[in-house]
Amino acid sequence: MSQFFQIHPDNPQLRLIKQAVQIIDQGGIVALPTDSCYALVCHLDDKDAVMRLRRIRGVDEKHHLTLLCRDLSEIAQYAKVDNRQFRMLKAATPGPYTFILEATKEVPRRLSHPSRKTIGLRVPENPITHALLEELKQPLLGTTLILPDEDEPLTDPELVRARLEKQIDLVIDGGACSLIPTTVIDMTQETPELIRQGRGDAALFGL
């Protein structure tokens, strides 16, 4: 049975943030609000938690999971970023974008795409998510909260609780989120490629 924390969307209570991080450190799966949709997240280094997260979402190892990072310097630790890419990332972060980049050796091999060695990364603009990342002091591994065989993400924390309370460990109620997921940009080639149009304006990348 999952726990349910009501956390202030603008001024997150540190006590609850610390409890949420403890749940993540112990292998928990957490549903949390972001600047796009609700996401399911877990600890980057917990193999069992990552497998659970994939099972809940109904996706295999070819589906990109996303590293939710605190800032650009953390992105550069887990992905290879040249000066051109850095300038574009700086213009779009924090914000509702997910970037596909070549993974560094810091990323566990099981998390990167099995054939391309790429990883999805983002810097969300959400006070609750940012507070969790600051307290955890490393990225969270996450995926948009869309259940198998459904087209739209869950955006109401009460509905998330009703649907998933026996499968995940914590639901964070930070208010309703958008129905629109992040814009996904593949930056592994010379010219950025739009993979999915979402909340973020692709015009920032000339797309």
Per residue in 70-90, pLDDT (tens digit) is 999 999 999 999 999 999 999
Cis check for the bond before 94: say yes or no (omega within 30 of 0).
yes
pLDDT 10s digits, 118-168? 899 999 999 999 999 999 999 999 999 999 888 888 888 999 999 999 999
| pLDDT value for 78 | 93
Q: Over 70: is that where the pLDDT of 3 sits?
A: yes
Percent above pLDDT 70 for the chain: 98
Cα-Cα end-to-end distance for the chain: 44
> What average pLDDT does range 7-21 have in this prediction?
97
SS3 83: helix
pTM (2 d.p.): 0.92
| pLDDT value for 129 | 96
| pLDDT value for 154 | 86
